[in-house]
Amino acid sequence: MLPYILRRLLGMIPLFLGITIVSFLVIHLAPGSPVTIQTDLNPKMTAEARERLRKFYGLDKPLHIQYYNWVKHLVTLDLGRSFSSDGRPVLDKIKERLSITIFINILSLLLIVLVAIPLGIFSAVYQNSLFDRSTTVFVFLGFAIPTFWLALLLMILFGIHLGWLPISGLKSINYEYLSPLNQLKDRAAHLLMPVLISAFGGLAGLSRYSRSNMLEIIRQDYITTARAKGLSELKVIYKHALRNALLPVVTILGLSVPGLIGGSVIFETIYAIPGMGQLFYSAVMMRDYPLIMGELVIGALLTMLGNLLADISYALVDPRIRMR
């Protein structure tokens, strides 16, 4: 097992470099540069001042030198400074937004797993029943309803008419004057709507997936065998079938690791949550090269690690794979 992991890890290095080269090129191919976007149509801007800014950001050098400089810094884990006018280190900018995004994503992922898998399993076991049909409608509604629209409706209902929940943001304005218990309550109240809404949209995928898996497995020979042995239906379904049906879920969970750091722009914008989605979006719009690269690097690393993790845990839970 260990040599396998090592081999995989080593193989990641060229893959990772390849990813950075392609990203670097693509980003620079897009029209406009951080300098032009900051200064376009600004009457105070002179050609000389623009040239100064280009120099300041090192954009006057050839592309391969720029890439080399970037990699040189990366080796020392320095992602550089943002090209936006705050000029802060990229790592700081990412750090301060990462925790909230990961927190919300983990909560909503947990919720999705807890709700979607049982939904999927029951739908498969009671295929074509009323329950199956209504959950299908329910999860697809969640998938199809535009987040921003549902979010606004819920804000009006819970925030304005009922007054039960805060409308947006992470904390109340008087947060620092609250007791620790009330601070906790305040945070939870702020998170409730965003987490519910983001989970609602994600139910469809996983529940459909576990449903079709389960359907497939119920038709397998070993299930027939189990039934033939005279096992109770409960045991057949929840012991023999369920275990196997859950296998692919491991892969899906592994693949959602990089998703944990990616936020959704629309969703964060609506709820005024300062997360990664907004940061990445504005970085792209402002052509903030170091920040874009920083986020891509972290995303790429997590994707590769997530894949590896999924493969390893797959081997752990499925003896058939381990044997090969």
Partner 1 sequence: MRNIFLCFILGILFTACEKTSDQPDARKETAQNLTSAPPACGDAIIEGSIGDASNLIAMLAADSASHDIASLCYNGLVKYDKDLNLVGDLAESWDISPDNLTITFHLRKGVKWQDGVEFTADDVMFGYQTIVNPNTPTAYAGDFQEVDKAEVIDKYTFRVKYKKPFAPGLASWGYVVVLPKHILEGQDITKSPLTRAPMGNGAYKLKEWKPGEKIELVSHHDYFEGRPYLDGFIYKIIPDTATMFLELRAGNIDFMGLSPLQYLRQTETKVFQENFRKYKYLSFAYTYMGFNLLNPLFQDKRIRQAISYAINKNEILEGVLLGLGEVATGPYKPGTWQYNPAVKTYPYNPEKTRALLKEAGWVDTDGDGILEKDGKHFEFTVILNQGNNERRKTAEIIQRRLAEVGIKIKLRTLEWATFINEYIDKKNFEATILGWTIGQDPDLFDVWHSSKTHYKELNFISYKNEEVDRLIMEGRHTFDLEKREKAYFRIQEILAEDQPYVFLYVPYALPIIHKRFRGIDPAPAGITYNFVKWYVPKPEQKYTIQP
Q: Binding residues for partner 1, per CB under 8 A?
A: 30-32, 36-50, 52-53, 56-57, 84-88, 93, 96-97, 148, 152, 155-156, 159-160, 163, 166-171, 173-174, 268-272, 274-275, 278-279, 285, 287
Min. distance of Cβ 146 from partner 1 in angstroms? 13
- Burial string for 36-45 (b: 16+ CB within 10 Å, else e) reads eebeeeeeee
Nearer to partner 1, 155 or 315 (CB): 155
- Cβ of residue 189: shortest distance to partner 1, in angstroms? 13
Backbone dihedral angles phi then psi of residue 77, each to the nearest 5 degrees: 60, 25
The C-alpha atoms of residue 297 and residue 291 are separated, in whole angstroms, by 10
Beta carbon nearer to partner 1, 51 or 216: 51
- Supply the minimum distance, in Å, between the C-beta of residue 164 and partner 1: 12
Shortest distance, CB of residue 112 to partner 1, whole angstroms?
Answer: 24
CB of 175 to partner 1, least distance (A): 10
CB of 244 to partner 1, least distance (A): 44
Whether the Cβ atoms of residue 260 and residue 274 lie closer than 8 Å to each other: no
Distance CA 159, CA 172 (A): 13
For partner 1, the closer of residues 159 and 259 by Cβ is 159
Query: Which of 253, 252, 260 has its CA nearest to residue 104?
Result: 260
- 93 vs 240 by CB, closer to partner 1: 93
Phi, psi (deg, nearest 5) at residue 5 = -65, -45
Nearer to partner 1 among residue 143 and residue 175 (C-beta)? 175
| Least distance in angstroms from the C-beta of 49 to partner 1 | 5
Instruction: Kindly tell me which of 85 and 128 has the beta carbon lying closer to partner 1.
Output: 85
Tell me if 94 sits within 8 A of 295, measured CB to CB.
yes
Whether 70 contacts 83, CB under 8 Å:
no
Give yes or no for a contact between 51 and 254, defined as CB atoms under 8 angstroms apart. Answer: no
Name the residue nearer to partner 1 (CB basis): 86 or 221: 86
Residue 319 CB contacts under 8 Å (≥ 6 apart), including other chains: none
**Coil, strand or helix at 47:** helix
CA distance 287 to 73: 20
